Amino acid sequence: MSQYVWLIFIFVSLIMPWMRGQQIQSTRLKTIIDFQRKRGSRLITLIHRQETMSFFGIPLSRSIDIEDSEDILRAIRMTPADRPIDLLLHTPGGLVLATAQIAEALRRHPAKVTVFVPHYAMSGGTMLALAANEIIMDENAVLGPLDPQLGRYPAVSILRAVARKDINQVSDETLILADVAEKAMRQVYNTVLDLLNDHLSEEKARQIAAELTEGNYTHDFPLTCEMLRAMGLNVTCPLPVELHQLMALYPQAANRRPSVQYVPMD
């Protein structure tokens, strides 16, 4: 008899999380469909949460990768030319190649493209936001600078460090790194400038591209709605409540003790 009890316990332990996952997925799809119908658009979500790997409980930080670019490019191709695209972003950034592919596909879409930012879209996420016709953010949401990073260091900091030294005191390896850093900065600047030229005057586009890519801020510095508007970007607040509800359907790993708790009010 005890064997059957254990079998039932194991079965319930396995099936309940699966059923909850299916329920959450169903609610996500309904929320997305309802939002699309309301706006007459296609809603694409790019949400990077800290996830847990199968049975080991190892936290993994997600970022924009080639798989993301393949999926989003496929969604854009499947969207009729006259249908607007809404992109919900929640990401720390990621691979430049994948990000640039997505940004280029968004800018080529003939209908309006709107990016929504509930919490943050840093680095590559900011590049995607710049490809949109309009950026809609929560009042407390932020974007981030686009200065390229080489390993642990910002490209601009590598160049400045080399410039302050006698060339004979700099190793060949550091000089090679500085050469790559210079290329990276130029490439990112040109990509951002190309995106901004679609919506702004050339002078304003160059000003904003330089502000975001030339190392004026640390890489994780939060650029608020007010700062972005002051730069001249088309940023509006607040965020539609439906998208906050949708974000709640992408919870962090469930096996961790929550660091924030509260009781919802009536």
| pLDDT value at residue 20 | 63
Query: 17-144+222-266 — its CATH code?
Result: 3.90.226
Query: Before 238, cis peptide (omega within 30)?
Result: yes
| pLDDT value at residue 8 | 59
Are 143 and 192 in contact by the 8 Å Cβ rule? The answer is: no
| pLDDT value at residue 49 | 75
Task: Give 218-255 as a 3 state SS string.
Answer: CCCCCECHHHHHHHCCCEECCCCHHHHHHHCCCCCCCC
| pLDDT value at residue 217 | 95
Q: What angle do CA 68, 73, 79 make, to 5 degrees?
A: 130
Alpha carbons 60 and 124: distance in angstroms, whole number: 18
| pLDDT value at residue 9 | 56
| pLDDT value at residue 57 | 44
**4: buried, middle or exposed (CB in 10 Å: 19+, 13-18, 0-12)?**
exposed
The pLDDT averaged over each successive group of 10 residues in the chain (266 residues) is 58 57 78 94 88 43 87 96 97 93 96 97 96 96 94 91 88 92 95 95 96 94 96 93 92 59 60
**224: buried, middle or exposed (CB in 10 Å: 19+, 13-18, 0-12)?**
middle
CB-facing half-sphere around the CA of 127: CA atoms within 13 A: 29
| pLDDT value at residue 27 | 86
Alpha carbons 88 and 111: distance in angstroms, whole number: 17
Select from 117, 122, 130 the least CA-distant residue to 221: 122
CATH 3.90.226 spans which residues of the chain?
A: 17-144+222-266
